[in-house]
């Protein structure tokens, strides 16, 4: 599988793992210490080939994703869940620990952020499905993020991410119905 876009990753171990999974070029941010030169390289690559931001599913990875997305609008996004990125041997979480299959699947399911539109899904919808408050809200948001491939979010981020990735109300409701059914089966 060959990827046209340049993939933004955190470090050299991520680059090595991605190159095992697919044929692609990467730009490494060297962790959260993203300097202006790296931002300029990312901006140039986006103009020439496009960018996919593929950072670890942890707080530093989300911070890097946010910085790059704000500084270089128009990037695509790929996500892994924490379980997919968890090392079997230690407590580390990162793309370098993911299976080649999961990396390929994440890169096949990239999202492109669209121009901001009026949200289709409302805060009321999130409250109705118990995603903002109450017992299990955090776990439901995490499961929803996995199901929709938009990453883990807190309550504040969820509505914005659903809107940014233009998740339709039908997609949202289908995912929530499946999650409710899954909970009932447990």
Task: Please report the pLDDT score of residue 113 as a whole number.
Answer: 59
Higher pLDDT, 164 or 174: 174
Q: How is residue 68 written in tokens?
A: 């790059």
Domains of the chain are 2-112 (3.40.1360.10), 123-185 (no CATH)
Work out the percent of the chain whose per-residue pLDDT is above 90. 53
Angle at 107 between CA 146 and CA 48, to 5 degrees: 135
Q: What is the mean pLDDT of residues 13-20?
A: 96
CB 2 within 8 A of CB 22: yes
Q: What is the pTM of this model?
A: 0.69
* Residue ranges in the chain assigned as alpha helix (H): 12-21, 36-48, 59-71, 100-108, 123-128, 137-148, 155-164, 169-185
CB 72 within 8 A of CB 46: yes
Task: Please report the pLDDT score of residue 20 as a whole number.
Answer: 96
């Amino acid at each position: 599988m060959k990827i046209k876009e340049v993939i933004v990753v955190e470090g050299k171990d991520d680059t090595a793992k991605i190159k095992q999974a697919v044929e692609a070029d990467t730009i490494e941010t060297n962790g959260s210490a993203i300097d202006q030169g790296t931002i300029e390289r990312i901006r140039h690559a986006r103009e020439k080939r496009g960018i996919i931001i593929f950072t670890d599913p942890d707080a530093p990875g989300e911070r890097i994703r946010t910085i790059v997305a704000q500084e270089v609008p128009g990037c695509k996004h790929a996500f892994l869940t924490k379980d997919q990125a968890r090392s079997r041997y230690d407590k580390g979480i990162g793309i370098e620990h993911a299976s080649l299959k999961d990396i390929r699947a994440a890169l096949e399911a990239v999202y492109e952020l669209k121009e901001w539109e009026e949200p289709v899904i409302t805060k009321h919808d999130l409250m109705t499905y118990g995603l903002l408050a109450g017992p299990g809200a955090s776990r439901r948001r995490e499961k929803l993020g996995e199901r929709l491939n938009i990453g883990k979010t807190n309550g504040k981020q969820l509505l914005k991410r659903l809107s940014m990735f233009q998740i339709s109300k039908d997609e949202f409701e289908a995912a929530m119905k499946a999650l409710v059914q899954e909970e009932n089966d447990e």
